[in-house]
Amino acid sequence: MQKSVPKEISSSEKIDMLSRELELMQKSLVEQFYADSLTRLPNLYKLRHDLEEHNEFTLILANIDNFKLLNDFYGFVVGDFILESFAKSLQESQKDGTVYRIAGDEFAILIKEKMNFYLLKEYVESLSKKLTHLKYAYAQTEIYVDCTLSSSASRSNHDIFSKVNMALKYAKQQQLKYWIYEDSMSFSQEYENNLKYASKIRKAIVDASGIVPYFQPIINNKTNEIVKFEALSRLIDEEGAIHDPNNFIPVAKTIKVYDKITMMIIEKSFKIFEEYLFDFSINLSFEDIINPEICDFIIEKLRTSNMGHRVTFELLESEKVQDFNKVMLFFYEIKRYGAKVAIDDFGSGFSNFSYVIKLKPDFIKIDGSLIKELDKDRNAQIVVETIVSFSKKLGIKTVAEFVHSSTVLSAVKQLGIDYSQGYYIDMPSPVFGS
């Protein structure tokens, strides 16, 4: 039997085959570029591409609540399962919208029509109800998931990502199920101000001269003599304006330069009190205490300066402490060099006496909210009397904050508080005695 001879492929056919293969390969690469590898949803690049294709659209963001907590608790395998399951729930909730996974636990829905505020509110509210208390079963475990939504009803879709992100951030901060950005809101102005402030903070840190300690004196209530100064951070911008820490510290934390500010205040305070032989105190947050770089910096300062016996470290916002063992270990370490510790703002928020027993401070600073009306408010007097009595029995010294008048100072002394500070005594200043 005669064998058939394979038909020879012509040059033009070879070129056609190669072109088709390249076309398929190119299509595959484009699909991979525009697809999320876990959920197989279109990704952020695809969303940006699609937004450029449409003038009229509505964008909705969906962010899984407490996803990091779920991921840490159950592990990343279950975390991926939650993301995949939530992606399916979002797709099932949509008739006309396209669902995208744009980052981590954040998803987007693109609807190719521009909704007015009332229609959008109705749509988002309905969507929120569908996505409340979602139950996913993994092995023998039931996992409940909720999410926060945001969108924009702005007249223009210019800076749409900024608008929906600002709305999402606001919803998270206020613990709302959703929020819709409107042009009448001041979010964009606040956002712009924060960006400008962030620039000021970075420049102040780079220049080093922009972050400075101000000092407020603390007096002994028996002798009326200044015995200590508290170092308080200030930001001085290029125009010479002085900024309060309540304004710049939150922004510094957001842009992750807060630790630099803490170390600058410590460095400059130690330098100044080499010359001025007063005791001094420096504020630390829980974030500072659990930061290894700051802890090592403080220990090195105490070890090399021989000033440990003159410095007190004040723990701010003790109700936010998440791990008392870490704080106690830090306190134990600095006390080895003679440093003292204080609990600041005691009596505010959720402060309680168990903190004192656990942390064994040398000082308790009684919060200004209790002190400022101490000469008039009998309830405040009762609370302060309790704090003073408790402290004396444990051998802890007390300090009154926010002493703003002679009558308040008189009431502070009558209740047996050991030390006082406040505007009546002197305002914070960069120079002693000014």
Q: Which domain holds residue 231?
A: 204-420
Q: Who has greater pLDDT, 61 or 251?
A: 61
Tell me if 375 is assigned to some domain: yes
How many domains, in total, are found in the chain? Answer: 2
Ordered DSSP codes for 203-233? HHHHHSTTEEEEEEEEEETTT--EEEEEEEE
Owner of token pair 């829980």: 286
Per-residue pLDDT of 331-366, as tens digits, reads 999 999 999 999 998 887 655 687 788 888 999 999
Q: Which of 205-214, 342-351, 405-414 has the lowest mean pLDDT?
A: 342-351
pLDDT bracket for residue 31 (50, 70, 90) = low
Owner of token pair 């820490």: 245
Domain match, 219 and 118 both: no
Tell me if 119 is assigned to some domain: yes
Domain match, 254 and 377 both: yes
Q: Is the pTM of this model over 0.85?
A: no
Sequence-distant (6+) residues with CB within 8 A of 92 are none
Q: What CA–CA distance (Å, rounded) separates 185 from 189?
A: 9
How many CA atoms are closer than 13 Å to the CA of 73, on its beta-carbon side?
8
Domain boundary among 154, 185, 216: 185
Q: What CA–CA distance (Å, rounded) separates 344 from 347?
A: 9
Domain match, 178 and 208 both: no
Q: Who has greater pLDDT, 4 or 286?
A: 286
Distances (CA, A) of 245 to 40, 99, 261: 45, 42, 10
Q: What is the pLDDT of residue 324?
A: 82
Q: What CA–CA distance (Å, rounded) separates 55 from 384?
A: 63
